[in-house]
Amino acid sequence: MALIITDECINCDVCEPECPNEAIEAGDEIYEIDPSKCTECIGHYDTPQCVEVCPVDCIPKDPDHEETEDELMDKYKLLTGE
């Protein structure tokens, strides 16, 4: 399942540089995660790095983009060319 940034985001800028897939970018009001690039850091790290650094806990799993760990790993391989 991809992650999503909720409107509790305070635009602190710490999540964007942590994303190994460059799935996070500044939106109109808050940061946004591109679900086609988000692998929850599977393939890169044991835990989602954006969640680890977020000071307000505003990055839950996105219920509109459910994916298994195998699907996330397949996406990682596609994105990295492995």
Position of tokens 């985001």? 9
- pLDDT at residue 7 greater than cutoff 90: yes
pLDDT per position as a tens digit, 14-58: 999 999 999 999 999 999 999 999 999 999 999 999 999 999 999
Query: For residue 51, what pLDDT is reported?
Result: 97
What is the C-alpha separation between 17 and 78, in angstroms, rounded?
21
| Cβ-based burial of 68 (10 A; exposed 0-12, middle 13-18, buried ≥19) | exposed
Task: Give the predicted TM-score (pTM) of the model.
Answer: 0.91
Question: How many residues does this entry show for the chain?
Answer: 82
CATH code assigned to 16-80: 3.30.70.20
- pLDDT at residue 1 greater than cutoff 90: no
The helix/strand/coil state of 51 is helix
Query: For residue 82, what pLDDT is reported?
Result: 83
Where do the domains of the chain lie? Answer: 16-80
CA-closest candidate to residue 5, choices 46, 50, 43 = 50
